[in-house]
C-alpha cells in the first residue's frame, strides 16, 4: 500500500542533532496517522507515495521541526507556588496556579530549567527548539486508517511534541 492521505504508517527512527548526538531512538515500530496531526510536515513530504521498507535520512532545520528558540518564553515564578519536590527537568502543562508572569502562553508546556530558593525558571520552548535535527526513518508498515482515526486526525497523542512526563501527569511523548 502506498502512503497517501489518510492512512496509518508504522515507523522506526533514530533522531540525532547535527553533531550526531543521539536524542531519541524508536527501535520498535509505532503507528502514526499520515495526513493529520501526528507527523511534522517535512516528514510527511518525505513519506508521500512511499511504501513499507522505505528508508530515508532527513535534515530538519528548526523552522521545519520544533521552531526557533524564543527567549520571550522563559519566565521566573515565585518558588512558593511549586511543590516542595520541584526539580530541574520537570514539566507543567501551562503555568502553575498562582503564576504572576504576564503574557505567557497558557497552553505551553513549561520545563523547569533552574530552581533557586526564591524563584523557579520556566521555559515554554519545546526542548528541541532551535536545534537542527537528523532523522533516520524507516517505514515498517502502511495500513488504511479507521474512521475514528480519520475523525481524530491521529492514532493517539502526537509524538512530535515534547518528550517527558510532567508532574501533573501530562504525557509529553
Q: What is the pLDDT of residues 23-54, one digit of tens each?
A: 999 999 999 999 998 999 999 999 999 999 99
Strand partners, 96: none
Question: Residue 170 has what pLDDT?
Answer: 29
Quick: pLDDT tens for 126-170.
999 999 999 999 999 999 999 999 999 999 755 554 333 333 332
Cα separation of 48 and 99, whole Å? 44
Question: Residue 43 has what pLDDT?
Answer: 97
Topology given in CATH for the domain delimited by 7-66+131-152: Chitinase A; domain 3 (3.10.50)
Round the average pLDDT of the chain to a whole number and report it. Answer: 89
Question: Residue 159 has what pLDDT?
Answer: 53
Topology given in CATH for the domain delimited by 71-123: Thrombin, subunit H (2.40.10)
Question: Residue 169 has what pLDDT?
Answer: 31
Question: Residue 76 has what pLDDT?
Answer: 95
How many Cα neighbours within 13 Å face the side chain of 106?
A: 2
Lowest mean pLDDT among 44-53, 84-93, 102-111: 102-111
Cα separation of 167 and 154, whole Å? 25
Cα separation of 79 and 129, whole Å? 26
Q: If DSSP codes are grouped into helix, strand and coil, which group holds residue 105?
A: coil
As a whole number, mean pLDDT of residues 2-13 equals: 97
**Do residues 121 and 74 lie in contact, with contact meaning Cβ atoms separated by under 8 Å?**
yes
Question: Residue 107 has what pLDDT?
Answer: 83
Q: Which residues 6+ apart lie within 8 Å of 12 measured at CB? A: 26, 27, 28, 29, 30, 137, 138, 140
Cα separation of 93 and 138, whole Å? 31
Q: Return the domain boundaries, the chain.
A: 7-66+131-152, 71-123
Rg of the Cα trace of the chain?
Answer: 18
Q: Is the pLDDT of residue 72 over 60?
A: yes
Question: Residue 33 has what pLDDT?
Answer: 96
Q: What is the DSSP string of 149-172?
A: HHHHTSSSS-SSS--SB-TT--B-
Question: Residue 96 has what pLDDT?
Answer: 86
Percent of the chain whose predicted confidence (pLDDT) is above 90: 80
Amino acid at each position: 500500500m502506498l502512503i497517501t492521505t489518510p492512512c496509518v504508517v508504522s515507523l522506526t527512527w533514530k533522531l540525532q542533532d547535527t553533531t550526531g548526538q543521539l536524542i531519541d531512538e524508536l527501535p520498535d515500530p509505532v503507528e502514526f496517522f499520515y495526513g493529520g496531526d501526528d507527523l511534522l510536515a517535512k516528514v510527511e513530504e518525505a513519506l508521500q507515495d512511499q511504501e513499507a521498507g522505505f528508508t530515508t535520512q532527513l535534515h530538519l532545520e528548526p523552522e521545519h521541526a520544533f521552531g526557533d528558540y524564543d527567549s520571550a518564553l522563559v519566565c521566573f515564578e515565585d518558588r512558593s507556588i511549586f511543590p516542595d519536590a520541584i526539580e530541574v527537568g520537570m514539566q507543567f502543562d501551562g503555568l502553575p496556579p498562582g503564576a504572576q508572569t504576564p503574557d505567557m502562553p497558557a497552553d505551553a508546556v513549561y520545563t523547569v530549567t533552574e530552581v533557586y530558593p526564591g524563584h523557579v525558571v520556566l521555559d515554554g520552548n519545546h526542548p528541541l527548539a532551535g536545534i537542527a535535527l537528523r532523522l533516520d526513518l524507516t517505514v515498517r508498515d502502511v495500513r488504511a486508517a479507521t474512521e475514528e482515526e480519520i475523525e481524530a486526525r491521529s492514532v493517539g497523542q502526537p509524538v512530535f511534541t515534547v518528550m517527558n512526563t510532567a508532574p501533573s501527569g501530562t504525557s509529553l511523548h
